[in-house]
Amino acid sequence: MGFLEKVLDIIMTKQIFGTAMVILVTFILISMFNKSIEKIMIKGKNSFEVKRRKTIVRLFQSIFKYILIIIAFLIILDFYGVDTKSLIASLGVAGVVLGLALQDTVKDLISGTMLIMENYLAVGDIVTYNNFTGEVIELGLRTTKIKGFDGEVMTVANRNIDTIINLSQKNATLYINIPTAYEEKTEKVEKVLIDVVKKALDENLILSGSSYLGVNSFDSSSVLYLIYIVCKHDGRYRVKREILKRVKLAYEKNNIKIPYDQLEVHYGKDI
């Protein structure tokens, strides 16, 4: 019994029990804050506003988490007899030195805060950085992570954020050439393509401004008819696939041929 009492006395000391309670309370507070701010903030009126608010929520969550961790660390040090007041004063001087030594990191932190507050980027935006295009999957204080359409992830330091082009804050424009056999009547083809574009507009698949433009060029085995499409940037590939599908179905329904490369072989005097 004496041994158990000694163990219990050790566990209940300020250093052990106090440290455990500080860690537990810190974890609970961080969890409660994260859930509360999500309920309060993520109520945007549209998808863009929701993405922006999610980004701001993550920023506040990160700041609150680090502040609580620092406070908890100082409280635990006080349990072990460390003079935290002198430590805080020393940290102020050390902070200046570190600020000079870690200028790039400081620039990242400042840029990360500014780009979020100024609504330059948000999680879910489609962006281009040095010819790399993808979706913003994480926006932190130091770095921004971009996921390409093939699955690769690029991490960009926030100090370089001014070279990122945000494609989500403007609509995408697509020029789609539709190859069609020379023998098909132009009036018939144009009527079908105009109808495809009109139906896509009526169904809100594409945006206002989309239209059939006309004959674009004469290819070696086909006439190229041009369609101009305006759509949301993050859905441009899906929209293009859907338009091509609709054109093919419309061509099949109206018996309009889509040509393909053919090879004719002649023998000697039969030429």
**41-57: pLDDT as tens digits:** 665 545 555 666 666 67
* Cα(254)–Cα(17) distance, integer angstroms: 81
User: Domain spans of the chain?
Assistant: 2-101, 172-253
Given this model, what pLDDT does residue 243 score? 94
Same fold, 2-101 and 172-253: no
Q: What is the DSSP string of 217-247?
A: EE-SS-EEEEEEEEE-GGGHHHHHHHHHHHH
Distance between CA atoms of 1 and 107, rounded to whole angstroms? 59
What CATH topology corresponds to 172-253? Alpha-Beta Plaits (3.30.70)
What does the pLDDT look like over 90-104, one tens digit per residue?
666 556 655 555 566
Q: How confident is the model at residue 251 (pLDDT cuts 50, 70, 90)?
A: very high
Contact 190, 212 (CB under 8 A): yes
The predicted pLDDT at position 262 comes to 64
pLDDT in tens, 173-186: 889 999 999 999 99
Token duo for residue 23: 């860690």
**How does pLDDT run across 105-119, given as a tens digit for each residue?**
666 666 666 666 666
pLDDT per position as a tens digit, 110-144: 666 666 666 677 777 888 888 888 888 877 767 88
- pLDDT tier for residue 217 given thresholds of 50, 70 and 90: very high
Looking at residue 108, its pLDDT comes to 65
**Going by C-beta distance under 8 Å and a sequence separation of 6 or more, which residues neighbour residue 208?**
201, 230
- pLDDT (0 to 100) of residue 11: 56
For the domain covering 2-101, report its CATH number.
1.10.287
The proportion of the chain whose per-residue pLDDT surpasses 90, expressed as a percent, equals 24
Instruction: State the pTM of this model.
Output: 0.49
Distance from the first to the final alpha carbon of the chain: 112
